[in-house]
Structure 1
Amino acid sequence: MNSVPTKFTRLDMNRLITFTQQAFQKVGTNEKDASLMAKLLVETDLRGVFSHGTRQLDGYIQMMIDQKVNPRPNIQNEVSSQTTAIFDGDGGMGHLPSYQAAQFVVEAAKSFGIAGAVTRNHFHFGAAGTYSRLALEQDCIGFSTSAHRFRPSKDHSILSASGASPISFAIPAGKQPPIVIDMGAYLGGSGELSQDQLFKYIPATFFKFIGLGAAAHMMGGFMAGIWMSDPEVDQNAWEGANQGAFICAIDISRFRDLEHFKQEVDRHQKDIQQMIPAPGYDHANLPGTLEYQREKEWAQIGIPIGIDHQSILNVVANKIGLEPLFSN
């Protein structure tokens, strides 16, 4: 899904931002929040992470139409100390409190060295890298993870126990692209092989994902307090508000000279680039380079929107009375 589609139409990012903002406003979101949602989703598309960009728009809009997600949340910020905070999303989209949390931790990290925040009582927060990457702007290391409310079933295999929780690290560089790990703690079937069949070949990989998923669920779930608004307990809770997040930032300069650090990161990346690429690939790069290159290029020439992606956006347009972006 996050590969460049074979057949596509390029769309100017500003047109997509305008359309996405209008879509959220049509279902009741205020202009400020709709603008931020559009910005974050299109920036995700711009990096080629289509799975968590505007492909999600129809699902988000429908959750608001069905009154499962609050279109006009009143986000509450309970600052518990100078370096920690709790953001309550009031049943709305997770992007809104998570973005505020990311801004808080970066500002606090610059003042005190390291800071962390949790968010809760909200729906999906999109791509984890959206929040870790905010730290890069201030030469900090960023980390973010999220979890949703679920109970493991005795009828399911432990191979699915990770919960597919997202995890992201963002590390600044000098002249090289920043290193950005933005992934889900999940290993599904490959299409040809089922999970059980894959496990026979790479059992260690599954165990690592189970461990990563558990850590994400503890920090972005239990520590964030995702069960505190359980609909079985709170009858006023929004049904879709079943998720939380943990976001933190670290000021590198508190530990060593920043420019020397960046120089070493650059040197390491150049060493990596001289290595033999993985089978089927033309280049050897660390995570984040490809997305960085796409972001720069596609901002100029347009985002490649595949056929099925176009259909999703047209469904949204027809559903809420907007002019479709694509002709049938």
Structure 2
Amino acid sequence: MIFYTFTEQRLREFTEQVFLKMGCPEADAKLAADVLLKSDLRGIDSHGVARLTGYVRLWEKERINARPQIKVVHETATTATVDGDAGLGLVVAPFAMQLAIDKAKTYGSGWVAVKNSNHFGIAGYHSLMAVAEDMIGISMTNASPLVAPTYANERLLGTNPMCYAFPAGKYPPVVVDMATAAAANGKLEIAQRANSPIPEGWAQDKNGQMSTDPNELKAGGSLLPLGSDKTHGSHKGYGLSATVDILSAVLSGANYGPWVPPFVAFLDPPTDPVGEGIGHFFGAMRIDGFRPAQDFKDHLDNWIERFKSAKTVDPEKRVIIPGEPEYAFEAERRINGIPLIEAVVTDLNQLAVKMGIEILDA
């Protein structure tokens, strides 16, 4: 597989230019680019600049509003529902998380549900906004139906990621950022570009049989919940995914389950929607609403140290703290640049030509 490496700044400039060409205000273009670059920096390549062409195609189909009028449509002291006006989730989601944070600053916690939005990038970006304020951050979103519930052979749920982020003291934050499916769809896309098989347990074919073909979804198959099958706990992944769907969409007034609009532009949204757009859910909790923040961070440092020192079944391996690999990726990539596979660079340069911006010089 061929990789090309680009500086963070070059990819940031390129991404901002794409969003500006879509008609986004400058501040929104910078914010959207920041969300995508955070993904690439943290090694979550499936949700970074590789997604740019997908956003552009949805905008061309008039399914993304480049200049949304984001507004609060229901509110109490500690809760709110936000209408994203079909805007980029990369812009709508930070607005909603900031609202949750502002409420938490005053009342100890803030909870915000979102409807009428689009794909919001990595959940970790939004949760880490709260961590920066000495808060626990929670973020989740529903997504287009690609996942079959336990025992089913029908796509009813999205990969529906959730993220919990906790500030530590001398260590990086603990960040639990995961899809509630056995694998995120972006990982299948990476395997497709690399022409590589996927691990058994990620997907099933249209007949409900396990498959290692990364193109299975295109052939009518489905992703499996976290746990893969009932024997290995898929009912738990299904339950987590259902929780995300209910909090993100049933609560906010967004589409849920099989009615969630697809991220790909060549598929039309359902003709019988039950809500508006896709949904998100955010929470921010002040740590000093429970105990002094420094006490919590000191004890989370102790928690981290104890887990990192755990005895392992293989002396060559060690226990990894949630978020630790992504932190290491970010530190390394800020210095050495961000690698993109050849297929992604080709897609981005085709996009650059179409939109009249400078191509990425590989």
| 1:203 is the counterpart of 2:231 | yes
1:290 equivalenced with 2:285 (yes/no) = no
Matches within 5 A, 1:90-129: 90-129=85-124
Is the Cα–Cα contact under 8 Å of residues 114 and 249 in structure 2 kept in the other structure? no
Matches within 5 A, 1:43-122: 43-78=38-73, 80-122=75-117
Number of equivalent positions = 316
CA 279–122 in structure 1, closer or farther in 2 if over 3 Å, else same: farther
SS at match of 1:244: strand
- Consecutive unaligned residues in structure 2, runs of 5 or more: 189-197, 211-223, 261-268
Distance 2:327 2:148 in 1: 39
The 1:244/1:204 distance shift into structure 2, 3 A limit, reads same
In structure 1, the residue corresponding to 2:113 is in which secondary structure? Answer: strand
State the shift of 1:117 in Å. Answer: 0.4
* Deviation digits for residues 25-68 of structure 1 (CA, Å, limit 9, x no counterpart): 11222212111111111111111111111110000011112222
Map 1:13-28 onto structure 2 (within 5 A).
13-28=8-23
Using the size of structure 1 for normalisation, the TM-score is 0.86
1:31 aligns with 2:66: no
Tell whether the 8 Å contact from 1:58 to 1:315 is kept in structure 2 after alignment: no
Measure, in 2, the Cα distance between the counterparts of 1:253 and 1:298. Answer: 34
Q: How does 1:180-191 map to 2 (within 5 A)?
A: 180-187=175-182, 190-191=198-199
Contact 2:113–2:279 (8 Å) recurs in 1: yes
Of 124-133 and 200-209, more deviation after overlay is shown by 200-209
1:303, distance to aligned residue in structure 2 (A): 1.4
Q: Which moved more, 1:243-252 or 1:23-32?
A: 23-32
Aligned residue number for residue 3 of structure 1:
none
Percent identity for Structure 1 against Structure 2: 32
Alignment of 1:156-305 (within 5 A): 157=152, 161-187=156-182, 190-192=198-200, 195=204, 196-197=209-210, 203-227=231-255, 232=271, 242-276=277-311, 282-305=317-340
DSSP-derived class of the 1:45 partner: helix
Is the contact between residue 87 and residue 118 of structure 1 (CA under 8 Å) also seen in structure 2?
A: yes
Cα 1:207–1:12 change in 2 (3 A) is: same
- Could you list the per-position Cα deviations for residues 96-119 of structure 1 after superposition, in whole angstroms to 9, with x for gaps in the alignment? 121011111112112211110011
The match for 2:214 is none
Give 5+ residue unaligned stretches, structure 1. 1-5
State how far apart, in whole Å, the 2-side matches of 1:159 and 1:206 are. 15
Label 1:115 to 1:278 Cα distance change in 2 as closer, same or farther (>3 A).
farther
- Code of the aligned partner of 2:330: E
Q: CA deviation at 1:318?
A: 2.1
Q: How far apart, CA to CA, are the structure 1 residues paired with 2:105 and 2:294?
A: 16
Contact 2:148 2:154 in 1 (8 A): no
Q: Supply the distance in 1 between the matched residues of 2:294 and 2:255 (Cα, whole angstroms).
A: 43
Q: Aligned pair in 2 of structure 1 residues 307, 278: CA closer, same or farther (>3 Å)?
A: farther
1:310 & 1:281 partners in 2: Cα distance? 36
| 85-94 vs 209-218, which moves further | 85-94
